C-alpha cells in the first residue's frame, strides 16, 4: 500500500508501539533485496546490523517514505562496507588490504 511506510514511521516517531513492528515489516524486505544485489555477505545479518543506526535516527528522519528508505539503505550500505573492511577488503577497490610494511618495501623496490 503506497504511503504505509510513511504512516508507520510517523506513528513510531509519535511513540505508537504497534507501528515499530509494522515499520520493520514494511522496510526489512527492501533492505534484504538491496543487500542481495550489492554484496556477497549474508544479507540477513547485514540488514540486522543496519537497523541499530537507522533507529537512532528515527526521531529526526522526516516522516517521508523516501527519506526513511534512504536512511535505512544508507545504514545497510555502511553495514556492508564495514563487513568488507572486517573481511580484509576495501570497499573502494575490492582488493584485500595490504600490510603497510609490504607497501613500503614495494615502493623502495621501485625506486
Q: C-alpha distances in angstroms, 16 versus 19, 45, 75, 108?
A: 6, 27, 23, 62
Instruction: Enter the DSSP assignment of 60.
Output: G
pTM score of the predicted model: 0.70
Residue-wise pLDDT for 17-71, tens only, equals: 999 999 999 999 988 988 888 888 899 999 999 999 999 999 999 999 999 999 9
Residues 64 and 6 sit within 8 Å (Cβ to Cβ): yes
Amino acid at each position: 500500500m503506497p504511503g504505509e511506510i510513511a504512516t508507520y514511521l510517523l506513528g513510531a516517531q509519535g511513540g505508537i508501539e504497534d507501528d515499530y513492528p509494522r515499520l520493520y515489516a514494511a522496510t526489512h524486505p527492501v533492505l534484504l533485496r538491496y543487500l542481495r544485489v550489492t554484496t556477497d555477505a549474508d544479507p540477513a545479518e547485514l540488514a540486522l546490523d543496519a537497523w541499530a543506526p537507522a533507529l537512532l535516527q528515527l526521531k529526526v528522519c522526516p516522516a517521508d517514505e523516501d527519506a526513511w528508505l534512504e536512511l535505512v539503505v544508507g545504514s545497510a550500505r555502511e553495514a556492508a562496507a564495514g563487513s568488507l573492511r572486517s573481511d580484509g577488503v576495501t570497499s573502494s577497490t575490492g582488493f584485500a588490504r595490504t600490510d603497510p610494511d609490504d607497501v613500503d618495501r614495494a615502493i623502495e623496490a621501485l625506486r
